[in-house]
Amino acid sequence: METFLHDMNWVFALRSDALTPIFRGFSWLGYITFFLIALPIGYWAWSKDKFTRLAILIFISALLNAFLKDLWQNPRPDPAFWLDHGAEGSFGMPSGHTQIGIVMWFWLAYEIKQKWAYVAAAIIASGIAFSRLYLGVHDVEDIIVGSALGFASLGLYWWFFTPTFKTWHDLPILARLGALSLALVAVFALWPEGVGQNAAAGGFLIAWMAGAAYDSTYTRFEKPAEWWKAVLFSVVGTFGMLFLYQYLVDFQEATAPDSIALTTVNGAVLGFYVTLIAPRLFQVLGLAQRGLAKKTG
């Protein structure tokens, strides 16, 4: 059993010039660049509600994964196996790609509620998980634990939307944001190795939720009926997102690379960009519509 969980020598015989680009592609689906593209486009051009729920799940799951990595400090396989050096500097168990791949794609399938979506989720999530073995940056134990956490997270998140938590969902948005912010502060204070760049995920999460709440009452962004407008603002908005992300990273490295406060603020700026700044800009440019105010009472 120990050999099965940790021995990676089998991976050398599996590798080929044809397979390596395929599994690099699957692995890219678990890196920050992918999420900075996919989550905003989904919010802008598909469904604000669906992708707000998805973003909350992904970033809470990512924080849980990072916390457990730093708590357990389980080393990755020997670097001699690595074909992906983006994993350098972090611990191995649980596999974040595996865990977040499962929660993202299976939650999307749950939102779509079609058989084909579940089949696609299984294929993509399996490809992401196996890519981490193929690229040599995780062993089987890392993948198993990441998978277990991913499916457990899905189950808990589904439960969160049942009537059991009606009292929480009925709270004013400011109360929910305040409670979540306090919970994040407590988690960051207890972080085993210092929260570091993981603070950006907390800032992003709070800002996304706050921006989405503001939008539902004031901005009321709606995607246009014309497909070409949705494509245009998705492309423009994505380039803006990637430019802003790189600017914030460069700015922090040049000014205060170890500042947790600045890291959190940078994450918040990106969250507000997705749900507040870019949607308003799209409206001003005539690429998006303004919906009707929600009825009350």
pLDDT category, 179, cuts 50, 70, 90?
very high
Report pLDDT for 88. 76
Give whole-number Cα distances, 25 to 28, 34, 132, 249, in Å: 5, 11, 11, 24
Give the range among 30-44, 216-230, 238-252 with minimum mean pLDDT: 216-230
Q: Is the pLDDT of residue 4 over 80?
A: no
Kind plus residue range of the DSSP H or E element containing 222 = strand 221-222
Burial string for 16-29 (b: 16+ CB within 10 Å, else e) reads eeeeeeebeebbeb
pLDDT of residue 70 exceeding 70: yes
- The residues near 152 (Cβ < 8 Å, ≥ 6 apart) are none
pLDDT attached to residue 21 = 94
Average pLDDT over every residue of 95-110: 95
* Whole-number percent of the chain with pLDDT over 70: 97
Task: Give me the torsion for CA of 269, 236, 220, 158, rounded to 10°.
Answer: -70
Cis peptide before 94 (omega within 30 of 0): yes
| 235-248 average pLDDT score | 94
Q: Which residue did the predictor score with more confidence, 216 or 296?
A: 216
> How do the domains of the chain map onto residue ranges?
1-35+46-167, 171-297
pLDDT of 292: 64
pLDDT in tens, 18-36: 999 999 999 999 999 999 9
| pLDDT band, very low/low/confident/very high, at 201 (cuts 50, 70, 90) | very high
DSSP 8-state symbol, 162: S
pTM: 0.90
Q: Residue 296: its pLDDT value, please?
A: 37
Maximum alpha-carbon separation in the chain: 66
Statement: residue 167 has pLDDT above 80: yes
Q: How far apart are CA 99 and CA 161, in angstroms?
A: 20
Residue 3 has pLDDT above 80, yes or no: no
Could you give the C-alpha distances from 282 to 18, 49, 115, 233, in angstroms and in order? 41, 18, 34, 7
Mean pLDDT, residues 98-123 taken together: 95
**How far apart are the C-alpha atoms of 225 and 230, rounded to whole Å?**
8
Torsional sign, CA 96, 101, 106, 109 = positive
Q: Residue 58: which pLDDT band, with cuts at 50, 70 and 90?
A: very high
